[in-house]
Amino acid sequence: MRILLGLLIFFGSWLILSMMLSQSLILPTPMETFSALVEILRDSTTYSAMLSTIAKGFMILGLIIAVGLPVGFVMGLSDKIYELLRPTVMIIQSVPVISWLALVIFMWGIGWKGPVLIGFLSLLPISIFTIVEGVRSIDRDLLEMVKVYRVPKIKVFKYVYIGSLIPFIKAVVDVSVGNVWKTVLVTEFLCGDRGLGVMISWARQYVDVPRIYAITLMAVGLGIGTERIAKKLMSLTTRRWGM
Amino acid sequence: MILKVEGLVKSFGNFEVIHHWNLTVEEGEKVVLLGPSGCGKTTFLRIIAGLEKPTEGKIEIGFERLGFVFQEPRLIPWKTVRDNLRLIEEDEGKIKTILELVKLNGFEDHFPSQISGGMKQRLNLARAMVVDPDFMILDEPFTSLDIKVKMEIMEDLMEIWEKRRFTMLMVTHDVKEAVYMGDRILILSKIPSKILREIRINFIRRDITNRDFLGMESRILRFMLE
Ligand SMILES: Nc1ncnc2c1ncn2[C@@H]1O[C@H](COP(=O)(O)OP(=O)(O)OP(=O)(O)O)[C@@H](O)[C@H]1O
Ligand SMILES: [Mg+2]
């Protein structure tokens, strides 16, 4: 009920604002946007564009998990490795997206690799530092306890580390899922050959503003949808770990 | 001899905590170190367990399987009672036996947050028992518990000890606990701590309100307050 009311407020203010402005070049009305959306959804190429964007998003999330978690874990365990890798990670964090973009276009031209790499690099540092934080926050008393009882390393990992890291892994997934679509769309816009970002870039060339808004709505839906699914999945897995 | 400590000194920087301790523990003995807060009791136990290096002195160890009952329970919060033991010992039969021994049967699937403080210490004790220790270290495991719960656990522990006869080295600042548990009590000074005195307990102490018990308690108290 509240959600409906919230949506009503959102679309209501949009409607009022667009009527006040009455310039569909800047802000089309919700109706114009919805009719553009219907048109887009009738077109079958939309779905392959959407799939392409989704595929990139999941590739980025997969890479973050596959690279960010282990690297963060090792950096958290060893101060030496932390000191060795920290400058690299910090530099990656500080390089502007536009510089990656130039590099990627020289390397690969336009295509799917650029958006994936840039999305990955822009989410990687925060993921690594979050996991480092997690490893460092593990209860020293528990680690000492397993040392006294000479618990094998694998078991310590399964029983102590994973459980302690779950809130931090959750945070990584939350942040990544929350940001991945925005990054993917921007990079598709700039160096992609397919996807929602590319669709926006074409619509821009035709100055089809309602269409831009309609694609944006789709992206928002994608964002909210995946966030929901990620939350559900996380709460299922954490229940399995008894938290 | 299962433990021999000679000329043990431990300092953190210039701060001397343990000052020249000598002691020997025989197999099957129950030795209690009784000393004020902050006198280095935990530090001593950590040295025995190999978690800390002595600054000076020699330590000979004759035990093979060490059980360590920590001052705080140190349980894994996201693991059940059973899984907290499984961390140390996989054998379901052993786990079951130990849980019965410490009277935690029926709570196997509870998480630490779902059991009382006394039960947490029972689990702490169970974890030390499940390795089938020949040497058991206890670091003030009952101090945070009320007298009734404390007595119940100590009685159960004594019953377990009657069956298994491991060597026990306990530290505490509680005189009652010391008299109840120890065959031998070593009284420590405040920091930098020395072993001031050794007292043997020869009477049977199932009752903490009987005259022998209270007499011994007040004798030790008087000595400590001097
Ligand atoms: N790693 C360390 N570095 C520096 N000082 C330490 C360290 N560990 C212990 N100390 C100091 O050594 C002294 C003895 O500490 P310890 O924990 O052994 O005392 P305790 O007798 O167990 O006290 P309590 O009865 O409160 O448990 C304290 O003053 C403490 O601050
Ligand atoms: Mg202590």
Q: Do A159 and B80 touch (CB under 8 A)?
A: no
A149–B127 C-beta distance less than 8 A:
yes
Specify the pLDDT at position B158: 92
End-to-end CA distance of chain A: 31
Residue A147 and residue B51: Cβ atoms within 8 Å?
Answer: yes
Q: What is the C-alpha to C-alpha distance for residues A159 and B178, in angstroms, rounded to an integer?
A: 35
Q: Which fold has domain A45-241?
A: MetI-like fold (1.10.3720)
Residue A64 DSSP class:
I
| Ligand that comes closest to the CA of residue B46 | 1
Distance CA A146, CA A157 (A): 11
In a domain, B35, yes or no: yes
B87 vs A: CB within 8 A: yes
**Nearest Cβ partner for A151 among B49, B80, B88:** B88
Q: Is B42 helix (H, G, I), strand (E, B) or coil?
A: helix
- Classify residue B28: in a domain, yes or no: yes
Same domain flag for B116 and B220:
no
Q: Are residues B152 and B209 in the same domain?
A: yes
CB contact under 8 A, A149 and B79: no
Q: Within this chain, do residues B145 and B50 fall inside the same structural domain, yes or no?
A: yes
**B8 close to B161: Cβ distance less than 8 angstroms:** no
Q: Which atom of ligand 1 is nearest to the CA of B37?
A: 25
Query: ∠ CA(B101), CA(B104), CA(B107), 5° rounding?
Result: 150
Check whether residue B38 and residue B141 sit in a common domain. Answer: yes
pLDDT: is A242 or B222 the higher one?
Answer: B222
Q: Whose CA is nearest to atom 5 of ligand 1?
A: B12
Chain B residues with beta carbon closer than 8 angstroms to that of A145 = 68, 70, 74
The 3-class SS string of B134-188 reads CEEEEECCCCCCCHHHHHHHHHHHHHHHHHHCCEEEEEECCHHHHHHHCCEEEEE
The residue behind tokens 């920087």 is B13
On chain A, the residues whose CB falls within 8 A of the CB of B66 are: 148
CB contact under 8 A, A155 and B87: yes
- The answer as to whether B45 is a domain residue is yes
- The answer on B129 and B147 residing in a single domain is no
Chain B CB contacts of A166 under 8 Å are: 78
- Per the structure, the count of domains in chain B is 2
What is the structure's pLDDT at B203?
Answer: 78
* B126 and B169, same domain (yes or no): no
* B170: β partners: B32, B138
B64 touches chain A (CB under 8 A): no
Residue-range definition of the domain harbouring residue B81 = 76-133
Residue B148 within a domain: yes
A211-217: which pairs have CB atoms within 8 A and are 24 or more residues apart?
A: A211/A36, A211/A39, A211/A40, A213/A28, A213/A33, A213/A36, A214/A33, A214/A34, A214/A36, A214/A37, A214/A39, A214/A40, A215/A40, A217/A33, A217/A37
Atom of ligand 1 nearest to the CA of B15: 5
Q: What is the pLDDT of residues B58-94, one digit of tens each?
A: 999 999 999 999 999 999 999 999 999 999 999 999 9
> In terms of domains, do B145 and B206 share one?
yes
Q: What is the pLDDT of residue B85?
A: 97
B3 against A97, higher pLDDT: B3
Q: Do β-strands B195-200 and B184-188 pair in parallel, antiparallel, or remain unpaired?
A: antiparallel
State how far Cα A122 lies from the chain centre.
10
* Terminal alpha carbon distance of chain B: 33
- Verify that B145 and B201 share a domain, yes or no: yes
B166-188 confidence digits (pLDDT tens): 999 999 999 999 999 999 999 99
Q: Where are the alpha helices (DSSP H) in chain A?
A: 2-21, 30-42, 44-63, 69-77, 79-94, 97-108, 113-136, 140-148, 153-156, 162-191, 196-205, 209-240
Q: Are both B118 and B152 inside the same structural domain? A: no
Q: Check pocket membership of B173 for ligand 1, CB cut-off 6 A.
A: yes
B210 lines ligand 1 (CB under 6 A): no
> What mean pLDDT comes out for the span B4-13?
96
Domain stops at, among B100, B133, B166: B133
Taking the CA of B55 as reference, the closest ligand is 1
Residue B224, chain A, CB below 8 Å: the answer is: no
Q: What is the pLDDT of residue B207?
A: 79
Q: For each of chain A's 243 residues, which pLDDT tens digit applies?
A: 788 999 999 999 999 999 998 887 888 888 989 999 999 999 899 999 999 999 999 999 999 999 999 999 999 999 999 999 999 999 999 999 889 989 999 999 888 999 999 999 999 999 999 999 999 999 999 999 999 999 999 999 999 999 999 999 999 999 999 899 999 999 999 999 999 999 999 999 998 899 999 999 999 999 999 999 988 888 887 766 555
Single out the residue in B108, B133, B158 at which a domain terminates.
B133
Return the number of CB contacts < 8 Å for A and B: 40
Q: At which residue do the structure tokens 């309609």 appear? A: A214
For residues B168 and B200, membership in a common domain is answered with yes
Regarding the beta carbon of B17 and ligand 1, being less than 6 Å apart is answered yes
CA B113 to chain centre: 23
Check whether residue B32 and residue B48 sit in a common domain.
Answer: yes
ipTM of the complex: 0.91
| Single residue among B133, B152, B181 that ends a domain in this structure | B133
Q: How much is the pLDDT for B23?
A: 95
Nearest C-alpha in B relative to A143: B74
What is the pLDDT of chain B when averaged over all its residues?
93
| B202-213: average pLDDT | 81
d(CA A8, CA B124): 56
Task: Please tell me whether residues B142 and B193 are part of one structural domain.
Answer: yes
B219 Cβ contact partners less than 8 Å away, ≥ 6 residues apart: none
